Structure 1
Amino acid sequence: MGLLDWLFGSRKSALEQEPFAQGTRGPSSPPHWERSERGNPALIFDNRRITVFEQDRGWKFCIAKIKDDNDPFFSEVYDTEDAAKYEALARVSGQVSKYTTRSHDLKSARKDRWEEQIADRAKLFEDLSAALLAASNVTDLRKIESKVSSQLKQASWQITQYYRDGVAPSLVEKAEDLEKNLQAMLSAVEARIAEFKSRRRKPTDTSP
């Protein structure tokens, strides 16, 4: 059984016998949805069969030609059945979209978290800079080194994700600058540690 058969059923339904008013309505005037043979909300609009169905813990819609469509359109997941119905009709009738897909919402949430994280990293860099100036022994420097190394490991893959999730270009640039500054800081910390160690190894002058 093909996916379209699963959505629509194998027999010609009453839905195809009495199609919904061809092209005369859109999302602003909700039509009466019928049920396909498989029990999915469905209707005919402008010679297209629209079917809404549950999948991936949400709702999708399919738009296909009434007969012999080998390339139907499948939407992404929406949170509710009503959202999927609205967006399906908006797509075929040219109406303005009202709802966003779940993937869009997740991407937007990630974008917000990334932008907050960049601000947090900038503040941490300031704190670490102050700590580096105040460090008076190897133990203090090792603590700074550990935090800087951890931030660099995260930054190495997060910046790529910033681009994917649509973080503001100015903030991505700021993140890239922070990564460079952290790398410079790590080098400075390592140099300070080496300096402290060399002092401890320096032989004491015992000559009279």
Structure 2
Amino acid sequence: MEAGIFWLVLLVAAGAAVYLFQKSRPSIAHKKPQPILQEWGASEKGNPTQIYHGKDVTVFESDGGWKFTIGDPNDRREPYFSEPYETVDIAKTEALRHINRLPSLHQSLPEQRREKRRQKEEEQREEFVSNEPEIIAALAASADAAANVTELRKIERKAETQLRHVDRVVGSIAIYGSDEAIEKALIVQKEARELLENIRMRVAELKEKPRNNKAGPSAS
């Protein structure tokens, strides 16, 4: 009797162990198949090419970099052409990622240029907020020291040029700048406009003086 119970318990334990082992194994049906990467061949023009997921993929040199084109052999529509990338290997990588609808790992050359331009504009905006008040103050001091219309006219032209620059940068700051930067830029713009207005008023005053002197004392 005891021997029978022993063997019964042993069989139950063995069955439970087999069940738990099978449950812990990953199901083959749930495994995500990995894409098979094919070797790149060469086109008639010597460019890297391959058929990937049923698409004709070719990488070629153009516009100072490397582009890729993706076409469907069974589709008469124009193939897709990418922007140029820095190297042939980057273009290859981005071509396959484009087909797999994966995000880009690298910037194209136009994207790099746009990013550099954006950074440069950001630096210019920061310099503007820091340096422009000093430039306007220097022009105002020169205007105060001017003794005649000729000198004031020269400063007036500089003030006009400076105001155009201020208006252009303030417009950029209004779109891309922080609230603090916008506030400072508007103050600078107001000062630049007031400076030009004051210079023009002084020019008018100096031009009026000779007329008053020529008129002489009025007869009583």
With the shorter chain as reference, the TM-score category is 0.5 to 0.7
Of residues 170, 185, 195, the one that matches 1:185 is: 195
Q: Is 1:72 the equivalent of 2:79?
A: yes
Of residues 192, 213, 216, the one that matches 1:203 is: 213
Q: CA RMSD in A?
A: 3.4
Cα deviation, residue 120, structure 1: 3.5
Of residues 14, 26, 35, the one that matches 1:24 is: 35
Q: Is 1:136 the equivalent of 2:141?
A: no
**Which residue in 2 is equivalent to 1:85?**
92
SS at match of 2:83: coil
Unaligned runs of 5+ in 1: 1-21
One-letter code aligned to 2:196: L
SS at match of 1:49: strand
| CA–CA separation in structure 1 for the residues paired with 2:159 and 2:127 | 14
| CA–CA separation in structure 2 for the residues paired with 1:145 and 1:88 | 56
Higher helix share: 2
Cα deviation, residue 42, structure 1: 0.9
Cα deviation, residue 67, structure 1: 2.7
| TM-score, length basis structure 2 | 0.64
SS at match of 1:94: coil
One-letter code aligned to 1:102: L
Larger Rg: 2
Correspondences of 1:6-45 after superposition (within 5 Å): 24-25=35-36, 31-45=38-52
Contact 2:136–2:192 (Cα < 8 Å) also in 1: no
SS at match of 1:108: helix
| CA–CA separation in structure 1 for the residues paired with 2:167 and 2:100 | 45
Shift of the 106–180 alpha-carbon distance from structure 1 to 2, 3 Å rule, reads farther
One-letter code aligned to 2:192: L
Aligned length: 178
Contact 2:170–2:182 (Cα < 8 Å) also in 1: no
| CA–CA separation in structure 2 for the residues paired with 1:38 and 1:95 | 29
Percent identity between matched residues is 31
One-letter code aligned to 1:101: S
One-letter code aligned to 2:136: L
Contact 1:58–1:77 (Cα < 8 Å) also in 2: yes
Unaligned runs of 5+ in 2: 1-32
| CA–CA separation in structure 2 for the residues paired with 1:39 and 1:130 | 63
Shift of the 131–57 alpha-carbon distance from structure 1 to 2, 3 Å rule, reads closer
One-letter code aligned to 1:147: K
Q: Cα deviation per residue 1:13-44 (whole Å; 9 max; x = unaligned)? A: xxxxxxxxx9715xxxx652111122111111
Instruction: Specify which structure has the bigger relative contact order, considering alpha-carbon pairs within 8 angstroms and separated by 6 or more residues.
Output: 1
Contact 1:50–1:88 (Cα < 8 Å) also in 2: yes
Cα deviation, residue 60, structure 1: 0.6
One-letter code aligned to 1:136: A
| CA–CA separation in structure 2 for the residues paired with 1:56 and 1:119 | 33
**Which residue in 1 is equivalent to 2:132?**
124
